[in-house]
């Protein structure tokens, strides 16, 4: 399985998938036939995750061919990604807690034979070991396989959920801080306190077309517990008016389609595509993002008519030098949600400010409208999102 990392390929795959996004997707979305087999799922997640295509584009294409009821399951799947990001954006302490626990557990499990076996696919558990190989080689797993994997990791192997989430972050081409962290928390019984997900041999066999029927899985999934989390915080405010002075555009791996964020007449005199914001990347993800960045560099140069360069790091000094060379005091970038890139941008902003250069993040209309609704559970969020879609409030992104 490969994911050619260009926007053109993303659009081609979207067009090919759209006819199947209705009842066919709903009927077959839980089946994992294997990495080389035809599947009901879209396999658009790497492109959506890095926004080579956007949620708004994908849902608009699907609803142009299917009515909302027929396409409900697929639209819901796309909206989950937005919900998770909005939920985490208002609760950044969850990301900070994950990072701290991951680092602590990594030290505590140094030399653990169980952890080594899990990370190298040598547990002897049918299916699980195969998914390890598939994940490392392709950077992808079917969503249902990810749930089985996480459940086995936590409840059968008794390994820390944070190290499993980290393993996914380091290998999945489509892993983002929100969907990955919160999905692992959900399986573990932390996200919805007390509610866990238990992988069973029967369910795995039925939904892998009998490819796997693992023996020895635990029959109990006792929810993990944690100290209470802080309550949600308000979303950060966005600039009221667009930057009118000459500016440099900064593109990160969080949003590789700035053409749909900014107008072509934006005052960019230079642009930098920088892609080293996630130190967690595995080899498959690194290759995808770096190649996608080169594709983006060409598109940005053409779209905004300014010299555009690719940096293989988000080093503040390199960005400062680029801003000085362009003669600008403002760097503008699509908003990065909570996660490694946002952490990197916070450090960059502090360094630039010392030199009198401002870093301005601009949030997409899609996120600005929908994230504030991620205050409670998914289904109230979904109802509000569908109402916004029906009213046409999200058509332009």
Beta carbons within 8 Å of 294's beta carbon, 6+ residues apart: 310
pLDDT for 283: 78
pLDDT for 281: 67
SS3 at position 280? coil
pLDDT digit string, tens, across residues 274-332: 987 455 567 788 889 999 999 999 999 999 999 999 998 899 999 999 999 999 999 99
Its pTM stands at: 0.95
| 8 Å CB contact between 334 and 258 | yes
What Å distances lie between residue 111 and 101, 115, 122, 161, 318, CA to CA? 18, 8, 15, 17, 38
What Å distances lie between residue 382 and 82, 146, 154, CA to CA? 10, 23, 29
pLDDT for 30: 97
Nearest to 343 by CA among 397, 279, 268: 279
- Tokens matching residue 316: 């503040």
Beta carbons within 8 Å of 351's beta carbon, 6+ residues apart: 316, 317, 320
Q: What is the C-alpha R_g of the chain?
A: 21
Question: Right CATH number for 247-363 from 3.90.640.10, 3.40.50.620, 1.10.357.10, 3.40.250.10?
Answer: 3.40.50.620
> Which residues of the chain are under the pLDDT cut of 70?
1, 239-242, 277-281, 395-397
pLDDT for 282: 73
pLDDT digit string, tens, across residues 60-71: 999 999 999 999
> What phi and psi values does residue 332 have, to the nearest 5 degrees?
-115, 135
**CA–CA distance, 68 with 82 (Å, rounded to integer):** 18
The helix (H) or strand (E) run that includes residue 298 is helix 283-304
Sheet holding 247-251, edge to edge: 308-311, 268-274, 247-251, 330-334, 358-362
pLDDT for 276: 74
Architecture of the domain delimited by 7-88+370-391: Alpha Horseshoe (1.25)
Annotated binding site for FAD: 25, 74, 174-176
Max intra-chain CA distance, the chain = 64
pLDDT for 279: 57
pLDDT for 239: 63
pLDDT for 2: 86
Other Cβ atoms within 10 Å of 39 Cβ, number: 17
Annotated binding site: 25, 74, 174-176
**CA–CA distance, 202 with 248 (Å, rounded to integer):** 55
Domain ranges of the chain: 7-88+370-391, 95-207, 247-363
pLDDT for 242: 63
SS3 at position 91? coil
pLDDT for 195: 96
Q: Does the domain spanning 95-207 belong to CATH 1.10.579.10?
A: yes
């Amino acid at each position: 399985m490969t994911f050619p990392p260009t926007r053109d390929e993303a659009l081609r795959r979207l067009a090919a998938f759209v006819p199947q996004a209705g009842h066919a997707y709903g009927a077959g979305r839980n089946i994992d036939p294997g990495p080389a087999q035809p599947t009901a799922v879209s396999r658009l997640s790497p492109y959506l995750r890095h926004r080579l295509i956007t949620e708004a584009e994908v849902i608009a294409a699907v609803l142009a061919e299917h009515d909302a009821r027929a396409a409900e399951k697929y639209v819901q799947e796309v909206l989950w990604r937005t919900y998770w990001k909005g939920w985490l954006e208002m609760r950044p302490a969850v990301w900070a807690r994950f990072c701290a626990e991951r680092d602590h557990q990594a030290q505590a499990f140094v030399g653990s034979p169980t952890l080594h076996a899990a990370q190298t696919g040598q547990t002897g558990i049918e299916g699980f070991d195969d998914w390890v190989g598939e994940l490392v080689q392709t950077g992808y797993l079917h969503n249902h396989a990810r749930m089985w994997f996480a459940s086995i990791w936590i409840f059968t192997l008794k390994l820390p959920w944070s190290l499993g989430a980290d393993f996914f972050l380091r290998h999945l081409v489509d892993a983002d801080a929100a969907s990955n962290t919160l999905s692992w928390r959900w399986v573990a019984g932390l996200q919805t306190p007390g509610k866990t997900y238990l992988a069973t041999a029967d369910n795995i066999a039925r939904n892998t077309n009998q490819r796997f029927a693992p023996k020895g899985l635990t029959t109990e999934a006792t929810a993990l517990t944690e100290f209470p989390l802080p309550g949600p915080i308000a979303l950060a405010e966005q600039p009221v008016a667009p930057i009118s002075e000459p500016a440099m555009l900064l593109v990160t791996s969080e949003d590789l389609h700035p053409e749909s964020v900014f107008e072509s007449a934006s005052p960019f005199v230079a642009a930098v595509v920088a892609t080293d914001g996630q130190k967690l990347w595995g080899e498959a993800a690194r290759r995808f993002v770096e190649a996608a960045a080169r594709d983006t560099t060409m598109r940005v140069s053409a779209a905004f008519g300014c010299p555009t360069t690719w940096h293989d790091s988000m080093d503040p000094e390199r960005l400062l030098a680029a801003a000085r060379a362009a003669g600008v005091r403002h760097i503008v970038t699509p908003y990065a949600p909570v996660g490694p890139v946002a952490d990197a941008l916070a450090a960059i902003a502090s360094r630039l400010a010392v030199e009198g250069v401002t870093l301005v993040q601009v949030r997409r209309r899609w996120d600005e409208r929908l994230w504030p609704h991620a205050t409670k559970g998914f289904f109230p969020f979904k109802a509000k999102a569908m109402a916004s879609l029906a009213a046409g409030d999200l058509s332009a992104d």
